[in-house]
Structure formats: C-alpha cells, structure tokens
Structure 1
Amino acid sequence: MSSAFEPSLSTSQHRQSMAPVGPSAADTLPSIDFGFDDLRDRMAKFTARFDAFIEQGKKRVYEERNQFRMNMAELQEDQRMKKRDIEIVQVKTSTHQQTVEKEEAETREMEAAIASLAAQRDNHLATREALKEQIAQTQAEIDARLAAQRAYAQRQEAQSRFNVPELDFWITNLCMRIEGAGHSDRLKFIFTHIDERNWEREAWFELVTSSRDYDVKHCRPKLERDKVERVLERVNESRELVILLKGMRELFVEAMRA
C-alpha cells in the first residue's frame, strides 16, 4: 500500500509565504459532487438484476423447450393411438356392414313370413267374428231363458214365503191383513188396534220381495230408518217373517204413543 505524501515543514512555510493573504479563486467555485459511488452501486444492482433476468429467461426457455418436447411426444403417441383406433373402426365398420346385409336378408324373409301369417290371421279373425256373433245370439237366448226362469222362481218364492200354516195365526193375533202394493214384487201389511185412542186407526208398511233379503220401502206412520234397519237385520239373519211382523208392529205402537 502506498504511503500518503506529507510535505516538509519548509515547503509548507514557503507555500504559506507565497499564498495570498485573501481567498483564492478556487475557493470561490461551487463544490460539485458527481455521485460516482452511488452510480457504481446502482450499476452493480442493475447488473445483478440483469443477470438474474437472463438466468430466469434461460431457465424458462429450457422449461418451455422440455415441455414442447413432451407435448410433441404426447401428440405423436395420440396420433399413433388415433391411427390404431381408425383401423379398429374400419374393421368394425366392415363387420357391421356384413351384419347389416345379413339382417336385411333375414328381414325380407321375416316380412314374407309375417305377410303370410297376417293373411292367416285375417281369415281366423273373420271366422272368430262369425263365431262370436253366433255365441252372442246363443248367449242372448240363454240369458232370456234364465231371466224368465229367475222371474218365475222369484214369483214362486215370494208366494211361498207366505204359504205357511202359521200365517193365519199371526194375521189374527197381530190384527193384520195383507194386500197388494201395486207392484208384483211388493206386499202391503196393514195393522189395526195399535192406537189405544182409536182401535180402527191403521198403520202399514210395504215389503219388497224381489231379492233374497227383505226390505221395507214405505210405511205409515213414518218410522225412523235406523230402527227399521235393525229389525230387517234380525229378519234377514233368521229368515223368519214373524220377526219382521212383530218388530214392525212394535215400532208402530211406539210411534203412536209418541
């Protein structure tokens, strides 16, 4: 390292003797600071950033190049797979075409068979319709005969329900008489000696005999329907007419007293 220059004492004194007494022109000039140190520091930082930028650029270029190579390899593999798929599709297409041709031939055969079966079916349908008409006519005749037999049986049953030896006994003891109600399937039962204030006052009800179960349609005086239904339930369970006659008379007596 070089040593600093130090002037001798004589030289310094000589210079002091030669120096003007007042301030020199150099002392009056303004001080100039170029900032070389700051500039040097900024240049160093810029250089570092530039080098880092270059390094990053190189790294990115390498990565992009590697990615491009990978993409190219994938594209080539995809192209190879697509080519293979195309070959497979071509084979399948050829096979499918052969299958379609075979199915078309079979379809033509089936259509011919279907046409033949359709003709047979039409003939069978015509025969069946004729048979159905004959069956319908025969069934209508059978139904008419059965209906006539049922009507006759109902009339016989309606009459047989009251053809019992006990009927006269109950007619006398219940002060009752039986009349027609204006319909072939109805009978009218009329009671007297019900009202204690007027023994001749009548109470009656109409009994429907068209079905197996008894049913009461009209009555005078009017009775509560639920009470009549309870009497009919007992009668239809036991199938004894006397229960109906006694039950209806009791309801009429109760209604008269009320």
Structure 2
Amino acid sequence: MASAFESSLSSSLSGRQTLSATAPSMADSLPSINFGFDELRDRMARFSARFDAFIEQGRKRVLEERNQFRMNVAELQEDQRMKKKDMEILQHKTNTHQQMISKEAAETREMQAAIASLTEQRDRNKSMRDSLQQQIAETQKEIEARLAAQRAHAQYIESQSRFNVPELDFWMQNLCLKIEGAGQTDRLRFVYTHVDEKDWDREAWFELSTSSRDYDVRHCRPKLEREKVDRVLERVNETRDLAVLLKGMRELFVEAMKS
C-alpha cells in the first residue's frame, strides 16, 4: 500500500514539475505541506515486523503445544498399555492361583480317598491274612497226609515192581515197548513202535501219571479220543493190572494209525 501511494505521489510530483517547467502554476505560490509519509512508512514497517514476529511466535507456540499434546497423548497411551499389561499379568496370576487352589483341593480329596482306601485295604488284608494262615495250616495238614499216602503208594509200587520185572520185560518185547522218563518224578512215558503198518519205525507214546492211587494218562501222541482212554483207565484202576493198560493203549494207537 505504501509503495502504491509513493508511486502515485511521485507521478503527481513529476507531472507537476513538468507543468511548472512548461507553464507557471498557482501551486508554486502555495505553502509546502509535510504529510509525514516517512514516519508513516517507518511505523508501518515496524508494525509489519511486530506482526510477523507475533505470527511466528504464535506458529511456534502452536507447534510446541501440538508437539506437547502429542507427547502427552503418547504418554497416556503408553500408561494405558502398561496398565493393561499389568492387569493382564494380575489376571493371569489370579487364574494361576485359583488353579493351584483347585489343584491342591483335588489332591487333598484324592489323598483323603487314598488314605481311606488304604485303611480299608489294610483291614481286608488283615482279615485275609488270618484266613490264609488258617488255610495254610489246613493245606499243610492235607499235604502231609497226601505225602504220607504217596510214600505208602510208592512203597507198594516198589514192592510190586520186584515181582513184575520179568512180566514187564515180556510185555516190552512183545508189544515193542520202551519206558522213558517224562521229565517229572511222578510220570513215565511209554513209547511204542511197529504200530503203523506203513512205517514200523514210527513211534506212538503216552505219559502215565502215578501221583495218586489211580492211574491217569496225561498226554499221548498221536492224539486219542479221551472217552476211549478213560475206558481203558477204568479197567486198569479196577484190576490194578498194568498189562491191561499197555495192551489197551497199544490197541488204541494201532486203531488211530489205521484211521
């Protein structure tokens, strides 16, 4: 604005000087007037400088306040995040503590149940121990009685074997028979040959148990019908004649080989 005013003033002055140079004017006789343009220009320049400084200070203050606001917001967000994390940690600890309490309560109940079960089992074991002791005593008496019977039976067999040795040799030769041990003290294995017409060397055998007074056939090869074996044993136990057993079993093996 000051520049436009000054340019217009200069133009009027230069025009006035041109007119005064060409022709005399009445303005030359007028007194000179000082409007104070220089002072006005200085004042306006100082105002512009102060205004610019004010604007700059305001802009800086706004920037500082905005930065401070952002920092405050960031701090608040960080505080909120830390508090949230602390709350999560506290909740986790609370849950863990509750779980530990529940676990300890469950373990306490289990221990109490186990103690009650062990107490009950101890009482049952005590009662069973007393019963077993009584059964052991009775079983011991029964074992002693059976041992005595077995010893008596063994003595009887031994006394009879002295008289039956020639007869036993006779049946072993005529029945193609041999006697072996069966791996146990109360068992004998009787092995036959010449029972298969197609293969005279093929063997057939049975195991005789002498653990009791009555004879009993436990195993045989080839396998025979149990009913037929029981019928032979029934005749043997009635007659107490071992020859009946040897002949009867050979006849069963021959029959089995043919079939």
**TM-score range for the pair, normalised by the shorter chain length:** 0.3 to 0.5
Structure in which a larger fraction of residues adopt helix: 2
What TM-score does the superposition give when structure 1 sets the normalisation length?
0.42
